[in-house]
Amino acid sequence: LDFTAYFGLEHEFTLPGDQLDFTPTIAANASTQNYYNDYYKKRRYMIRKGQKLQSGVATITGTVLEASAFKLLDYEMSLPVNYRIGKCTIHFTPTYSIPVNPAVVAIRAVMNNGTVINKTRSEKIENSFYWTAGVSFSL
C-alpha cells in the first residue's frame, strides 16, 4: 500500500476566440515507495528464461531502504496546450521533470560457496523532458 500526493499550482489562459488555451503548471509529487520495494524484491533480480546468474552467484535480492517513508519524489513544470477546431481538440503537453530523493537499495548476493556480499547503492536519477499529445472529438 502506498500513499501519494500531488501538489500543484496552475492557471489557465484562454486567448480571444476560445480556440487556444494553455495552462502553465508547477507541481510536486510525493509518495511512499512500497511498490518500488516490491519490484526489487519480486522482479528486479528474478532469473528469466534463458538468463543465467553470474558465475558463482546463487541468489541476489534487493530491498529499498525506507520504502514506507513519505518523501518528495519530483518537481514538474508543464505547459498543457489545447487548440479547438470545431468539435475537435488537439492536446499537447510538454513536461520537464526534476527528480529528488533517489531510492537507496540494499543488495544482498549469496555466493555458491555460502559467502554473503552486502552492498548499498543509491539509484541514479536525472532530469527528463517528455511530452504527450492527443486529439479528442466532442459529440
Identify the residue with better confidence: 69 or 58: 69
Angle at CA of residue 58, ends 56 and 59, nearest 5° = 130
Per-residue pLDDT for 53 more than 60?
no
Q: What is the mean pLDDT of residues 31-47?
A: 84
Q: Considering only CA atoms, which of 13, 138, 6, 130 is closest in space to residue 82?
A: 13
Assign 114 a pLDDT band (cuts: 50, 70, 90).
confident
Q: What is the 3-state secondary structure (H, E, C) of 62-77?
A: EEECCCCCCEEEEEEE
108 three-class SS: strand
Assign 47 a pLDDT band (cuts: 50, 70, 90).
low
Q: What is the DSSP annotation of 31-50?
A: E--HHHHHHIIIIITPPPTT
Average pLDDT of the residues of the chain: 91
> Structure pTM?
0.80
Q: How far is CA 61 from the centre of its chain?
A: 22
